[in-house]
């Protein structure tokens, strides 16, 4: 007969682990979990920011030429965008006046929940999600759009806990968004992350005209994501004559590795 020692550490471990598991499943542990999570959020946020700074300087040191070319391209773009922005402001003002004249009720208001990134799920290919310090208690649900400080969509909420939520980035695999290209054909499709670096838009009919530089936005066909949030810019089009579909590679407009503050749009 197998004799179990009275003070066996394995048995003690399993009993405590089972108790924790049971308390977690029944929700009895939730107040303690929420309290601990709330307690460490500021420290975790600081650690994350520090780590993010290291990552940015590491990336910058590794690609100095690429960085130089990027600065040059962005300077040119900034000039073009300044002109475009002044036109947009004029149109916006005109739109406001027309709405007032027509007594248009508007398209409804959305709420922004600002959040800090406090951790990363794990360092594996499957788990590239980021953890933010807002959760179900703040009104977050799965599928909501996550935008950067600049207002560009960077991902969506995957799962929520009471005080935290897991978000996926647009460059992560299986982070799909209903998208539309701002071209003459108003091409629609689904974007998906590609190796955590770029975004891919597949199954685009051959007849649609897409060109590098076209801006890709959310199409509004996603359940909780409004139309018009900028996803990125088409950098490459894969168009083989013998294929039924063409594929576009989209480059995010900001570096998603350096996200520390994001906002979740609650429609």
Partner 1 sequence: MLKKIGQIFFLVLLLSGVAIVQFSFIFPLPTIYSQINLAAIVLVFTLFFFDFRSALYASLILGFWLDLYSFNFFGFYLFLFFFTILLANWILKTWLTNRSLYSFLLLILLAALAYNLFSGFLSYFSGTSSGGFFLWRASFWSNLFYGALWSELAGLLMFSLAGALTRRFQPFFLEKK
The window from 34-42, 75-83, 185-193, 202-210 that contacts partner 1 (CB under 8 A) reads 34-42
Check if the beta carbon of residue 215 is closer than 8 Å to that of residue 235.
no
Check if the beta carbon of residue 117 is closer than 8 Å to that of residue 55.
no
H runs (alpha helix) in the chain: 9-26, 30-62, 64-102
Q: Which of 161, 190, 237, 239 binds partner 1 (CB under 8 A)?
A: 161
Q: What is the dihedral of CA 100, 104, 105, 109, to 10 degrees?
A: -70
Mask for 76-95, x = binds partner 1 (CB under 8 A): --------------------
Nearer to partner 1, 173 or 224 (CB): 173
Check if the beta carbon of residue 86 is closer than 8 Å to that of residue 93.
no
Cα 263 from Cα 267, distance rounded (Å): 12
Shortest distance (Å) from residue 7 CB to partner 1? 9
Q: Which of 27, 31, 38, 51 binds partner 1 (CB under 8 A)?
A: 51
Nearer to partner 1, 190 or 237 (CB): 190
Among all chains, which residue has been given the structure tokens 């398209």?
107
Nearer to partner 1, 52 or 182 (CB): 52
Cα 256 from Cα 153, distance rounded (Å): 10
**Which residue ranges make up the site for partner 1 (CB under 8 A)?**
9-10, 12-13, 16-17, 20-21, 24-25, 33, 36-37, 40, 43-45, 47-48, 50-52, 54-55, 58-59, 118-127, 129, 131, 158-159, 161, 164, 166, 173-174
């Amino acid at each position: 007969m197998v004799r179990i020692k009275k003070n066996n550490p394995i048995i003690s471990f399993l009993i405590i682990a089972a108790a924790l598991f049971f308390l977690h499943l029944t929700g009895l542990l939730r107040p303690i979990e929420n309290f601990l999570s709330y307690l460490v959020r500021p420290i975790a946020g600081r650690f994350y920011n520090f780590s993010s700074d290291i990552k940015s300087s590491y990336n910058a040191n590794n690609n100095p030429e690429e960085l130089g070319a990027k600065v040059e391209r962005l300077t040119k773009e900034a000039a073009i965008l300044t002109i475009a922005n002044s036109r947009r402001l004029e149109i916006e003002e005109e739109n406001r006046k027309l709405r007032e004249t027509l007594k248009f009720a508007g398209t409804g208001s959305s709420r922004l929940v600002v959040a800090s990134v406090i951790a990363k799920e794990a360092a594996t290919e499957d788990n590239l999600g980021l953890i933010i310090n807002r959760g179900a208690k703040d009104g977050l649900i799965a599928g909501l759009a996550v935008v950067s400080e600049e207002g560009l969509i960077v991902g969506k909420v995957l799962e929520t806990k009471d005080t935290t939520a897991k978000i996926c980035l647009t460059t992560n695999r299986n982070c799909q968004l209903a998208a539309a290209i701002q071209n003459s054909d108003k091409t629609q499709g689904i974007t998906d992350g590609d190796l955590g670096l770029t975004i891919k838009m597949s199954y685009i009919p051959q007849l649609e005209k897409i060109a590098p530089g076209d801006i890709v936005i959310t199409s509004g066909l996603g359940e909780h994501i409004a139309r018009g949030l900028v996803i990125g810019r088409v950098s490459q089009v894969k168009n083989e004559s013998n294929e039924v579909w063409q594929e576009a590679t989209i480059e995010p407009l900001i570096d998603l590795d350096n996200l520390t503050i994001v906002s979740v749009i609650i429609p």
